[in-house]
Structure 1
Amino acid sequence: MNAHTTITPFRIDIPQKALDDLEARLARTRWAAIPPGRDDRTDFSRGIPQPYLRELVEHWRDGFDWRAQEAALNAFPQLLTEIDGQTFHAVHVASPNPDATPLLLCHGWPGSFVEYRHLIPLLTEDFHVVVPSPPGFGFSTPLSSTGWEVGRTAEAYGEIMTRLGYDRFVAHGSDLGSGIVSQLASAHPERVIATHLACEQRLLGLVGVIFPMPDGLTPEEQSELAPLSAEAASERGYLEMQNHKPDTIGAALADSPVGQLAWIAEKFKTRGDRHPTPSDSVDRDDLLANVSLYWFTNSGESSAQFYYEAAHSGMPPAMGAPVPAGWVVFDAHPLVRRVMDPLQMIGRWTEFAEGGHFPALEAPELLARDIRDFVRSLG
């Protein structure tokens, strides 16, 4: 890491011309012809259905108040700092309790620091909360160079905590944030007090793809795993595009706000809890605030580049860091622990029937309670 350690306070201030441009682009949307039989707004079998997408676009154009969202997000103190030539954005909310534990929250894709907007106030009594954005995400743009993958990002996150004065801290993550957390704890167990990871049953679809297939699965367990793997396989199109062709999908995401909205909102359905539409899982304005952040920062393509760098880094997922670990599983399935913790080595394992891939938005009270209880259990 470089010796330049300046931390600059930051406030979101999207130029009005960017808002006007977004409104004009939404008004000029050229819609595809709706295929026969695709008029059900809850039918996501072929991707996001146009009737539902049109509802989101109409609200984004005529009902959504970005300035109100901007003001609410600016209630959280934010900063910019440069590491290895890359600008990093982070939220940093210090607890009124000076003895609070530093807590690093690591989001993934298609999330952002917006994902934690309802979680942060539930944690600050006990934690100094830090939420950085990975290179190419949100205000951690533009990308300064290639080579920003999980390991390098983990080192940068550790440097951010150092610059904020936190020598030791707890780290929580979900999605690719879990990989960053695990890598950071593996590389620096002397600094990471404990790791806390959130996931949901769709993680089972990555068994044999990213995570190893455990030995000794019974025929019954194999039969349960098969449809879950098939379901997840149908959702890996975005992963293959971002892992291998980010420039191609990036061109569409940079030019079309409706394309960016569809690309993200569909994942809030297939990864979220099992409601008819994403708007039934998370607040519609939270969803659109997250998508707006991707649009205004032009980070649809640059966040996809992170996937490419990670996929081509040759770095296997970090597993089993030598620090206390807690896992919380939303939309739980018994096979998750059987697959991810076959020897039951993880110290704390919690399962909830509700929630999904975005628990900080879907079930923030449950997630906050589990983080708090886990850290308190460490003594």
Structure 2
Amino acid sequence: MTPTPFSIDVADTVLDDLRLRLARARVLPDSPRRPASGMSSAYLADLVASWQEFDWRARERWLNAHPQFLADIDGATVHFAHLRSMDAAAPALLVMHGWPHTFALQLDFADLLPDFHVVVPSFPGFAFSTPYAARPITETLLAHTMHVLMTEVLGYESYVTYGEDVSANVSDLIAATHGDHVLGIVATHAHFPTMAERELLTEPDQVAFFARLAAAHDPNGAYGHIQGTRPDTLAAALDDSPAGLVAWLAEKLVEWSDTPAGDPPAVERRISRDRILTEATLYWVTETIGTSFRPYYEDADQPDSIPSVDVPAAVFIQTHEGDYPESLARSFYRDLRIFERLDEGGHFAIAEVPHAMAERVRLFAREIGVLA
């Protein structure tokens, strides 16, 4: 499991083909009376035009300034960035991504923590990590793979874990099942009980929170239903059309970030255009939009609840879940040291407000005694 150094080097022919496709993009006008969305015809046309002129080589150099490696784990080749601290005794921090982003969106945050050994992996099936060869992409397997990466591949006896979106449950699983190796857990997507467990809730604030989520699911959850039921049909379109791909990805960056509704360009106050186009380019050149859908259907029916977490925890409630009940966090994270509702930072909190979140992680590390 010795990691192999890795450097990103996208072929000129791939970039030339991308620009040709963008130049031929057909951007439809907005439909009349269309439902509210995080994408508009005008914003998509602007993104497509910018992507044609995008300096990928500059972004590639920036990405490659972060040491990257490959390691074979659990039948997948796992790509990861490994930012070592100058202090050999610094604590290790695992920073995982979700969907629709990649490891790249987490690097601005990682750069702010030189007092940690920061590991930022690409989940199997995302970016430069291959999917599992013969096994489904489940939260349980992902948790095992990430733990092996940290302990057996990189040799860290203990570490702090962070996850969001797809990786939130993975992080909870790591902390719950490998507590002897986990120093603490940081969460901006605090634990959600299973659907069966939610039916047993009686606390009014807990019942109200999940009722609100359920009411929003029908108009806002269609993307996940498609990715979980017709993944290959959708992937065929997005893998062939860069305009379609950036529309699909950027719509979620807009809707889920902490920016004004109905103003798609406002997302760039939190996530710059260069970062948005970096995400789109990574999905395009690696052709991983289809494999990124796999957790939506391969793990969709996994019924097992996650055991409670006993290691020290810090929960920072992102703005889109501002009514998440503190009582729910305390019942799951049994050693909850910090509970805070963020004033800024939505679904992609560490990407949107990296300085604020880096300082919070640092304060938590001091609270649990792993950082001076």
Instruction: Indicate whether the TM-score tops 0.5.
Output: yes
Q: Pairwise mapping of residues 293-372 of structure 1 onto structure 2 (< 5 A)? A: 293-312=282-301, 314-331=302-319, 335-338=323-326, 340-341=328-329, 343=331, 345=334, 346-372=336-362
Q: Which letter does structure 2 place at the counterpart of 1:180?
A: V
Give the corresponding residue for 2:241: 256
Segments of 5+ residues of structure 1 without an aligned counterpart are 39-43
Deviation, structure 1 residue 227: 4.9
> Is residue 63 of structure 2 the alignment partner of residue 83 of structure 1?
no
1:207/1:160 CA distance change after superposition, 3 Å: closer
Q: Which letter does structure 1 place at the counterpart of 2:59?
A: Q
CA distance in 2, matches of 1:363, 1:240: 29
Conserved? CA contact 2:84–2:118, under 8 Å: yes
SS of corresponding position for 1:26: helix
Choose which of 222, 236, 255 in structure 2 pairs with 1:237.
222
Conserved? CA contact 2:163–2:170, under 8 Å: yes
CA distance in 1, matches of 2:2, 2:322: 47
Q: Give CA-to-partner distance per residue, 1:38-90, whole Å, 9 cap, x none.
A: 7xxxxx7045211111111111112x211111000111000001113211000
Q: Which letter does structure 1 place at the counterpart of 2:308?
A: G
Give the corresponding residue for 2:49: 58
Give the corresponding residue for 2:176: 186
CA distance in 2, matches of 1:163, 1:95: 17
Q: Which letter does structure 1 place at the counterpart of 2:253?
A: F
Deviation, structure 1 residue 334: 5.2
> Is residue 161 of structure 2 the alignment partner of residue 171 of structure 1?
yes
CA distance in 1, matches of 2:207, 2:75: 47
Q: What TM-score do the two structures reach when normalised by structure 2?
A: 0.90
Identity %: 35
> Is residue 86 of structure 2 the alignment partner of residue 96 of structure 1?
yes
CA distance in 1, matches of 2:156, 2:146: 11
CA distance in 2, matches of 1:192, 1:221: 28
1:265/1:103 CA distance change after superposition, 3 Å: same
Give the corresponding residue for 1:198: 188
Count of residues in correspondence between the two structures: 362
Q: Give CA-to-partner distance per residue, 1:170-228, whole Å, 9 cap, x none.
A: 1111111111111122221111111111138xx9xx7775872573344x886676555
CA distance in 2, matches of 1:223, 1:215: 10
Q: Give CA-to-partner distance per residue, 1:81-128, whole Å, 9 cap, x none.
A: 11132110000010001110011111111111111121112112x210
Give the corresponding residue for 1:215: 201
Segments of 5+ residues of structure 2 without an aligned counterpart are none
Q: What TM-score do the two structures reach when normalised by structure 1?
A: 0.88
Choose which of 286, 290, 315 in structure 1 pairs with 2:279.
290
Conserved? CA contact 2:138–2:298, under 8 Å: yes
Deviation, structure 1 residue 24: 0.7
Give the corresponding residue for 1:17: 13
1:229/1:306 CA distance change after superposition, 3 Å: closer
1:258/1:210 CA distance change after superposition, 3 Å: farther
Deviation, structure 1 residue 34: 3.5
Q: Give CA-to-partner distance per residue, 1:278-310, whole Å, 9 cap, x none.
A: 223311111110111111111100010122211
Give the corresponding residue for 2:124: 135
SS of corresponding position for 1:170: strand
Q: Give CA-to-partner distance per residue, 1:137-166, whole Å, 9 cap, x none.
A: 010035523412111111111111121111
CA distance in 2, matches of 1:211, 1:362: 31
Conserved? CA contact 2:92–2:158, under 8 Å: yes
Give the corresponding residue for 2:31: 35
SS of corresponding position for 2:309: coil
Deviation, structure 1 residue 229: 3.8
CA distance in 1, matches of 2:196, 2:346: 20
Conserved? CA contact 2:38–2:252, under 8 Å: no
CA distance in 1, matches of 2:322, 2:256: 18
1:19/1:181 CA distance change after superposition, 3 Å: same
CA distance in 1, matches of 2:153, 2:330: 38
Give the corresponding residue for 1:374: 364
CA distance in 1, matches of 2:247, 2:320: 27
Conserved? CA contact 1:141–1:297, under 8 Å: no
Conserved? CA contact 2:99–2:166, under 8 Å: yes
Deviation, structure 1 residue 32: 2.9
Conserved? CA contact 2:127–2:288, under 8 Å: yes
Q: Which letter does structure 1 place at the counterpart of 2:103?
A: F
